[in-house]
A and B are shown apart, each in its own frame.
Chain A
Amino acid sequence: SQQGEEDPQALSIQEGENATMNCSYKTSINNLQWYRQNSGRGLVHLILIRSNEREKHSGRLRVTLDTSKKSSSLLITASRAADTASYFCATVSPSTGANSKLTFGKGITLSVRP
Chain B
Amino acid sequence: DTGVSQDPRHKITKRGQNVTFRCDPISEHNRLYWYRQTLGQGPEFLTYFQNEAQLEKSRLLSDRFSAERPKGSFSTLEIQRTEQGDSAMYLCASTIGGGRVETQYFGPGTRLLVL
- Chain B contact patch, size range: 20 to 34
B45 partner, pick from A43, A45, A102, A106, beta carbons under 8 A: A102
Instruction: Judge whether A45 and B42 touch: CB under 8 Å.
Output: no
Is B33 in contact with A2, judged by CB distance below 8 angstroms? no
CB of A81 within 8 A of chain B? no
* Contact A99-B107, Cβ < 8 Å, known A48-B101, A104-B43, A106-B40: no
* Main secondary structure on B side of the interface with A: strand
Contacting pair B50 A98 (CB below 8 A): yes
Q: How far is the CB of A27 from chain B (nearest CB, A)?
A: 14
Evaluate contact between B42 and A101: CB separation under 8 angstroms: no
Closest to A44 in B: B106
List residues of chain A with CB within 8 A of the CB of B101. Answer: 30-31, 48, 50
- Whether the pair B109, A41 counts as a contact (CB closer than 8 A) is yes
Query: How many angstroms from the CA of A30 to the CA of B44 in the assembled complex?
Result: 18
A40 within 8 A of B: yes
**Do the beta carbons of A33 and B103 come within 8 Å of each other?**
yes
The one of B42, B55, B111 that contacts A105, using a Cβ cutoff of 8 Å: B42
Chain A contacts of B108 at CB under 8 A?
41-42
**Nearest CB on B from A95, distance (A):** 12
* Contact mask for chain B residues 17-60; partner A; CB cutoff 8 A; 1 contact, 0 none: 00000000000000101010000111111001010000110000
